[in-house]
């Protein structure tokens, strides 16, 4: 058998509804390795699901609910425009939470889409079936969903149904990724920009705009914490002291503030490690970074 159908599925929903948990179930393993392959889209490919007949590429759109930082508006627009190009959008909500402002904000945008939107009500293990019916009724009043699928991402209820319905929705298409590839990450550059922004804000005019931040690695741990290692590259030794600060105070401040923004961006806890390096030819590296496809 070979792949006959393929397509993209976007998962949207406010934080903690269970998007990562579902993705982990989809890829059948904890996402621990992120490749450094370039991506042109601003939305991270979170998981690839491959059977003998169909390949579905799941993208997470973390920018949707967090338009707070400098790249915010751009991220939100990019996230929503990406939704036009997928085969299905999964709008995920949590069965044990009432519809809130965050949900309404997303629904408002989803209503304008031409692509089918599935309402995925997660965490049904936490509630009584009567409550579930009320939830479904409430959401169906907000917009027309192509499907309503209640699931439990942790227990696995209805998971097969969801995968089956999605597979049915996929058009004829090629295999985009090799069988064994489950994830890919394009967000290096935005993460490096967030760190660079903090350096410029906190050191003011003492460090020139030519400072570069290179992401050495980005890995997701077993507990879903994202581990980021980055190097701040400067051109002169004199700048090193400014960035590190007295007893490392400045570097710590940069790290703390950047970490908070990165957490907002990714929607997960982040462990950030920063190094400082003097290197006169860092511009080569910056060229390398633009290869990641990020364009403001």
The reply on whether position 255 binds Mg ion by CB under 5 A is no
Residue with the two structure tokens 């401040």: 253
CA atoms 266, 272, 276, 279: torsion sign: negative
The reply on whether position 122 binds ligand GDP by CB under 6 A is yes
Q: How far is the CB of 253 from Mg ion (least distance, A)?
A: 27
Query: Does 40 carry a binding-site annotation?
Result: no
Shorter beta-carbon distance to ligand GDP: residue 4 or 125: 125
The reply on whether position 267 binds Mg ion by CB under 5 A is yes
The reply on whether position 167 binds ligand GDP by CB under 6 A is no
Query: Does 122 carry a binding-site annotation?
Result: yes
Q: How far is the CB of 251 from ligand GDP (least distance, A)?
A: 29
Q: How far is the CB of 17 from ligand GDP (least distance, A)?
A: 5
Beta partners for 275?
Answer: 231
Query: Does 150 carry a binding-site annotation?
Result: no
CA distances (Å), 224 to each of 5, 17, 212, 233, in order? 31, 14, 28, 28
Q: Give the C-alpha separation, 152 to 200, whole Å.
A: 44
The reply on whether position 153 binds ligand GDP by CB under 6 A is yes
Name the 3-class secondary structure at 98: coil
Site string for Mg ion, 46-65 (x = CB under 5 A): --------------------
Cβ contacts of 14 within 8 Å, gap of 6 or more? 65, 93, 100, 102, 103, 106
Shorter beta-carbon distance to Mg ion: residue 226 or 258: 226
The reply on whether position 55 binds ligand GDP by CB under 6 A is no
**What is the DSSP secondary-structure string of 163-210?**
HHHHHHHPPB----S-TT------THHHHHHHHHHHHHHHHGGGS-TT
Q: Work out which of 99, 105, 125, 167 binds ligand GDP, going by CB under 6 A.
A: 125
Query: Does 67 carry a binding-site annotation?
Result: no
Query: Does 195 carry a binding-site annotation?
Result: no
Q: Please report, as ranges, the residues that interact with ligand GDP according to CB under 6 A.
A: 13, 15-21, 122-123, 125-126, 152-154, 224, 267
């Amino acid at each position: 058998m070979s792949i006959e159908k393929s397509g993209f599925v976007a998962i949207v929903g406010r934080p903690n509804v269970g998007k990562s948990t579902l993705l982990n179930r989809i890829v059948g393993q904890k996402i621990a390795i992120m490749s450094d392959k370039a991506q042109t889209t601003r939305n991270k490919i979170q998981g690839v699901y491959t059977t003998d007949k169909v390949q579905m590429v799941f993208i997470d759109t973390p920018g949707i609910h967090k338009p707070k930082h400098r790249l915010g508006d751009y991220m939100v627009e990019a996230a929503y425009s990406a939704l036009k190009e997928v085969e299905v959008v999964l709008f995920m909500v949590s069965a044990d939470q009432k519809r809130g402002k965050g949900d309404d904000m997303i629904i408002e945008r989803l209503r304008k889409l031409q692509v089918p939107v599935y309402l995925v009500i997660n965490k049904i293990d936490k509630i009584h079936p009567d409550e579930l019916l009320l939830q479904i009724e409430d959401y169906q009043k907000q917009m027309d969903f192509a499907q309503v699928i209640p699931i439990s991402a942790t227990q696995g209820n209805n998971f097969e149904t969801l995968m089956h319905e999605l597979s049915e929705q996929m058009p004829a298409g090629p295999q985009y990724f090799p069988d064994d590839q489950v994830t890919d990450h394009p967000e290096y550059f935005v993460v490096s920009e967030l760190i660079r922004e903090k350096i410029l804000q906190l050191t003011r005019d003492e460090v020139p705009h030519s400072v570069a931040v290179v992401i050495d690695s980005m890995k997701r741990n077993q507990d879903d914490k994202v581990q980021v290692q980055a190097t701040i590259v400067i051109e002169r030794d004199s700048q090193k002291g400014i960035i590190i600060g007295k007893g490392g105070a400045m570097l710590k401040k940069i790290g703390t503030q950047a970490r908070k923004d990165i957490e907002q961006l990714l929607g997960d806890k982040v462990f950030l490690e920063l190094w400082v390096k003097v290197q006169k030819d860092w511009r080569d590296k910056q060229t390398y970074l633009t290869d990641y496809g990020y364009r403001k």
